[in-house]
Structure 1
Amino acid sequence: MKLAGGDLQILLTVGIVLLAGCVGAVPGEQSPTGSETSDEPAVETANGTVAVHYINVGQSVSTLIVGPGGETMLVDTGHYNDDGEHVLQYLQRHEITRIDHLVTSHTDADHIGGNAAVIEYYETDADGIGAIYDPGIAASTRTYAEYLDAVEEHDVTLYETREGDAISFGDVDVDVLGPPDPYLENDARNENSIVLKLTHGETSFLLSGDAEDDQEEYLIDTYGTELRSTVLKAGHHGSSSSSSEPFIDAVRPQAAVISSAYDSQYGHPHDEVLRRLSDRSIPTYWTATHGDIAFVSDGRGVSVQTQRDAPTEPLAIRDGDPIAPGTSGDVVERARLGGEPVAGDSEANTDERGNDGDETEDDGGGTDDTGETDDTDEANETTSTESGAALEVAAINADAAGDDRENLTDEYVVFENTGDGPIDLSGWTVEDEAARSYAFPYGFALEAGATVTLRSGSGTDTDTELYWGSGSPIWNNDGDTVIVSNGDGAHVLEVSYE
């Protein structure tokens, strides 16, 4: 992206410049930020964690990301009816002294309601804003005009942000997946939201703004398995216009977050979306009942922390009690998504093999010249429960040809149905010893006598080949265990190789 600071050029009718190009690191010193209080240790960044905070802002959305090195990103700033009050209170409570990246997913007033106030505060009373990112589609609202006036008054760098750009965020990869060029749907603001995928080690977060059916379809067609993420923020506050079945199946989240008001005048979240999530057994967190929500990742697992303990079964989330925006109170860990404990554990960055998360590059025992390991090898230990007895591991290729990290699709496990009937694998998972997890697609069935190859890299799923979508090797070359669990979480198959 090209720099848009300095002399401002008129664009559209609002008096600000938005130029396209490629984003690099934003100049300026980044000060350490994040919570320093002892009652929220998981927000600390000293141990290499990234924290994604979904702030309770009622019928709106605002997401704060704090990187391992103290980098900060704020995506959207809440509703215009509170002028950023709830967001600013949250940032101040967590001692965020600088916003390195302020991202406007799109310019609807319920997403930029606090932009002007946040810019004013950080440029006058704190350590500033590094840069602002905007999809470049204007809105004819007073809130939008005030936002642009604040940008111009304080001469904050503004980028027009499009698909393919990347925002420099320390050790966390931030990929911009939307909006495309040209814009979709006659420049409709929702359908041209800035869509971000944040990747930290084996974990990832997808922020889709208010993307609706057209943009979701575009994302599926363009990125396929690259959309897979640990956590999905449901688009458009849980509206039925977003979070379609194909999109959820492409992302395959282990958890979803919905940001909307408890008594939303639009009925958010819509029952259709909740049914889609429930059908796929995806635990769902709602800011209206869980309050402020923080997902804290150490790169291998994610700690799920909320203010209130409330139902997460999607069809039951309305049974929780409402919690008003701006309500103070600490978050408490409620669940974990894989990996070892994140906070307060000196071993949080060392996997179960004691190799600090790095895969070895040994050829690995128990493999033939091609790297395949037959699960009937005497060196292997195989156990299974009766309910999964028909599912077997036919082959394991832990040692991909060449550099494992450069050839992830050649690292794979082959599963075979040796029974007389199909096995519905919906909701079943595959894990390694370090608890890195893959979920079979919803509706996927393995026919009797058929095999399916699960490859560690990315690609397009078929009836015979599935793709984990990992950015690094899964299976340890010198020994590991393939663990398969059914939809109830019970282990049905374990195959170890050496």
Structure 2
Amino acid sequence: MKLSRSLALILLGVLVISAGCAGLSDPAGEENPTELEQEETPSETEINQEETPSETEINQEETPSEFEANGTLAVHNINVGQSAATVVVGPTGETMLIDTGHFNDDGEHVLSYLQQHDIDRIDYLVATHNDADHIGGNAAVIEYYETEADGVGAVYDSGIAASTNTYEEYLDAVEEHDVQLYRAQEGDSIPLENVDVQVLGPPEGYLSGEDRNENSIVLRFAYGQTSFLYTGDAEEAQEEYLVGEYGPGLNATIYKAGHHGSSSSSSDGLLDAVNPQVAVISSLYDSQYGHPHEEVLQTLAERSITTYWTATHGDVVFVSNGEGVSIRTQREAPTDPLSVFDGDPIEPGTDGEVSEREQIGAGPIKEPTDTTDDTEDNTNTGDDSDGGTGGELAIQTIHADAAGDDRENLNDEYVVFENIGDEALSMGGWTVEDDAGKQYTFPDGFRLEPGATVTLRTGSGTNTETDLYWGAGSPVWNNNGDTVIVRTADGDRVVMEAYS
């Protein structure tokens, strides 16, 4: 058993933001036109060893321990072209943003996506490495959330500097808004509520002469029996290190292809260890680097790994209930690795809702076959305790706008449900969900008697027959409009009501 190494806080007051004359290259060598020409490149940063999050352990031989699932975990792979950006929404509403797209759009696509999905706070911002196609929106995201939204909780960085204005602007934003900045390395964890997020790289001391790609922050997050592996731009050296250190402990349900699907990554050894059911690739359709490379697609095909590509599927969203994963995309397109180029391209930043394409395992949500008439219907019939259909659930009240600061008054954000039928409803295992995929599960054995109401409050408290508590750490219901969806334990929709 290898003990973890504590996260180290970077002291921004003494951080030297100087850089060498060499320009920053993108994943395949494109020179960043915002090159800084200064005299020195910092080889390391000043570290405060006193203030660090608590240590965790990671087993190098077995899969890291998996948290018991309660609700859903949503992983949004945003279509940002020849770059990368992923937003993770945990079961209690906490958020993690992994990379922010390319410098050439200054975070525009990412910010637009976050705003459209009512993400009002970034609890954890992870820069897998400081290439401009991964931190392009860092400064803009920090500026927006610190001045117009509910802030950024903490930033996690690999600690290897880049000689670009993009990197300097990112650190300037961190310093200006006094955001906590941590250097993340192997053995650390990120405390996303109710999700096991482990940092598997870079190792202490770094690899390959501190090459940025080869020292990407590698994340494995587990939720119930499902797991995800995101390796940034890790290439041959880091993949070999990961396989040597963790072996089958790298296994994951979903794998994000390293380095935008480049042949420098997704090696046979790594894929054999990860053994994913699904891969997702983030790159531009007409990538000047030819991403995804044929070698990678062939390797995926040999293992029958279903493959989604943001260039043809658009935004790709994975929703896990801890037992299975629902896969949703903007567009329907080929998922056979050898046929991905047969799909039609979709421009980065294209608006549009996602639809479910498949489910892996015990899918968390069954997509409705017809939503045309149900969006305004706020009643439906559920099973009573004897298996009959005499109970009927209705949404009586949606109180989305809590008094004062929503984040400080979570229990004044609530939904009231009523049984307007003639028989009791047995609602244990039923779920309540919003448009963003946040989900609450009714306690086992919960019954709603005829004519009775129950209020589901967003915050924490002790459940009673009339009041239930979601236990979320942030608001769930969007003040400007959202949808309340209730489903049975089998995934059948009982009631859905949209409001604006």
Aligned counterpart in structure 1 of residue 252 of structure 2, from 219, 229, 239: 229
SS in 1 for 2:198: strand
SS in 2 for 1:198: strand
Contact (CA 8 Å) 1:116, 1:150: kept in 2 or not? yes
Displacement after TM superposition at 1:17 (Å): 5.6
Q: Which residue of 2 aligns with 1:61?
A: 84
**1:263 aligned to 2:324?**
no
Q: Which residue of 1 aligns with 2:13?
A: 8
Specify whether residues 7 and 267 from structure 1 end up closer, same or farther in structure 2 by C-alpha distance, changes over 3 A only.
closer
Letter in 2 for 1:270: H
Instruction: Give me the whole-angstrom Cα distance separating, in 1, the residues matched to 2:320 and 2:204.
Output: 32
Q: Which residue of 2 aligns with 1:205?
A: 228
Letter in 2 for 1:236: H
Residue pairs, 1:102-181, within 5 angstroms: 102-181=125-204
Instruction: Give me the whole-angstrom Cα distance separating, in 1, the residues matched to 2:177 and 2:272.
Output: 43
Contact (CA 8 Å) 1:5, 1:156: kept in 2 or not? no
Instruction: Give me the whole-angstrom Cα distance separating, in 1, the residues matched to 2:318 and 2:300.
Output: 19
Displacement after TM superposition at 1:10 (Å): 2.5
Q: Which residue of 2 aligns with 1:241?
A: 264
**1:19 aligned to 2:47?**
yes
Contact (CA 8 Å) 1:23, 1:165: kept in 2 or not? no
Displacement after TM superposition at 1:9 (Å): 1.4
Contact (CA 8 Å) 2:328, 2:355: kept in 1 or not? yes
Letter in 2 for 1:183: Y
Q: Which residue of 1 aligns with 2:99?
A: 76
Letter in 2 for 1:256: A
**1:313 aligned to 2:336?**
yes
Contact (CA 8 Å) 2:83, 2:101: kept in 1 or not? yes
Residue pairs, 1:392-407, within 5 angstroms: none
Displacement after TM superposition at 1:142 (Å): 1.0
Instruction: Give me the whole-angstrom Cα distance separating, in 1, the residues matched to 2:47 and 2:360.
Output: 39
| Alignment deviations for residues 254-308 of structure 1 (CA, whole Å, 9 cap, x no partner) | 0000000000010000000000000110000000000001000000000000000
Specify whether residues 52 and 18 from structure 1 end up closer, same or farther in structure 2 by C-alpha distance, changes over 3 A only.
farther
**1:300 aligned to 2:323?**
yes
Q: Given the two structures, how large is their TM-score scaled by the length of structure 1?
A: 0.64
Contact (CA 8 Å) 1:2, 1:19: kept in 2 or not? no
Relative contact order (C-alpha < 8 Å, sep 6+): which is higher?
A: 2
Contact (CA 8 Å) 2:356, 2:367: kept in 1 or not? no
Q: Which residue of 2 aligns with 1:342?
A: 365
Contact (CA 8 Å) 2:7, 2:184: kept in 1 or not? no
Letter in 1 for 2:198: D
Displacement after TM superposition at 1:341 (Å): 3.5
Q: Which residue of 2 aligns with 1:252?
A: 275
**1:218 aligned to 2:241?**
yes
SS in 2 for 1:182: coil
Return 5+ residue gaps in structure 2 as ranges.
1-5, 20-41, 56-68, 369-426, 432-442, 445-500
Q: 4+ residue runs of structure 1 moved beyond 6 angstroms?
A: none
Letter in 2 for 1:9: V
Displacement after TM superposition at 1:181 (Å): 1.0
Aligned-residue RMSD, C-alpha: 2.4
Specify whether residues 60 and 51 from structure 1 end up closer, same or farther in structure 2 by C-alpha distance, changes over 3 A only.
same
Q: Given the two structures, how large is their TM-score scaled by the length of structure 2?
A: 0.63
Displacement after TM superposition at 1:343 (Å): 5.7
Specify whether residues 7 and 303 from structure 1 end up closer, same or farther in structure 2 by C-alpha distance, changes over 3 A only.
closer
Counting matched residue pairs gives 332
SS in 2 for 1:8: helix
Letter in 2 for 1:135: S
SS in 1 for 2:299: helix
| Alignment deviations for residues 12-65 of structure 1 (CA, whole Å, 9 cap, x no partner) | 637996637696389xxxxxxxxxxxxxxxxxxx97100000000000000000
Specify whether residues 149 and 60 from structure 1 end up closer, same or farther in structure 2 by C-alpha distance, changes over 3 A only.
same
| Alignment deviations for residues 307-342 of structure 1 (CA, whole Å, 9 cap, x no partner) | 000000000000000000111100000011111443
**1:90 aligned to 2:95?**
no
State which drifts further: 269-278 or 146-155.
146-155
Contact (CA 8 Å) 1:105, 1:135: kept in 2 or not? yes
**1:282 aligned to 2:305?**
yes
Instruction: Give me the whole-angstrom Cα distance separating, in 2, the residues matched to 1:80 and 1:277.
Output: 30
Q: Which residue of 1 aligns with 2:211?
A: 188
